[in-house]
Amino acid sequence: MSLLIDSSASNRVHTCFGSRCAAWVANSAANDTFAHEVAHILTNFLVLWDQSSSDPSHSTDPANLLASGGIRSVPSTVAQITAPGSTFDRIAPIQVTAMLTSEYSQSEVPEPDSAILLTSGALLIIYFVRAKTAAR
């Protein structure tokens, strides 16, 4: 079991207990901080891009999403975050690969209609079990 806390900041934290991770930020944190914390989890706390010599989880590239809050170029609006070429919250291709192959990534999100079908089937089973039990 490990507890990993980002920097010594009190307004942002990512935590892992074994393989279960969580991230939370205070509303006083920079507007890209939650994405930064989730990126730590998805990259397994290895930045993989312009790695800081003293901290393997943070990048020395201020444009990178995983640069520490002290040097990161923080966008003032979400619209400033764009595809490659942006100066804000960039994710290097090697980081994209790590995130997509993370144990926390899923290749597919279930479609809403399959969730409805599954729920309907479960409700029918419950209905029939209750009806059978009531008939006894």
The answer to whether residue 6 forms part of the interface with Zn ion (CB under 5 A) is yes
Contacts of 12 (CB under 8 A, 6+ apart): 6, 23, 24, 25, 26, 29, 33, 34, 36, 37, 69
Q: How far is the CB of 118 from Zn ion (least distance, A)?
A: 38
The answer to whether residue 61 forms part of the interface with Zn ion (CB under 5 A) is no
Q: How far is the CB of 70 from Zn ion (least distance, A)?
A: 10
Tokens of 86: 């942006």
Contacts of 58 (CB under 8 A, 6+ apart): 47, 51, 52, 66, 67, 68
Chain residue whose CB lies nearest Zn ion: 6
The answer to whether residue 89 forms part of the interface with Zn ion (CB under 5 A) is no
Stretch that binds Zn ion, among 6-14, 46-54, 87-95, 116-124 (CB under 5 A): 6-14
H/E stretch holding 100: helix 93-100
> Which residue's CB is nearer to Zn ion, number 55 or number 116?
55
Q: How far is the CB of 128 from Zn ion (least distance, A)?
A: 52
DSSP code, position 68: -
- Interface contacts to Zn ion, rule CB under 5 A: 6
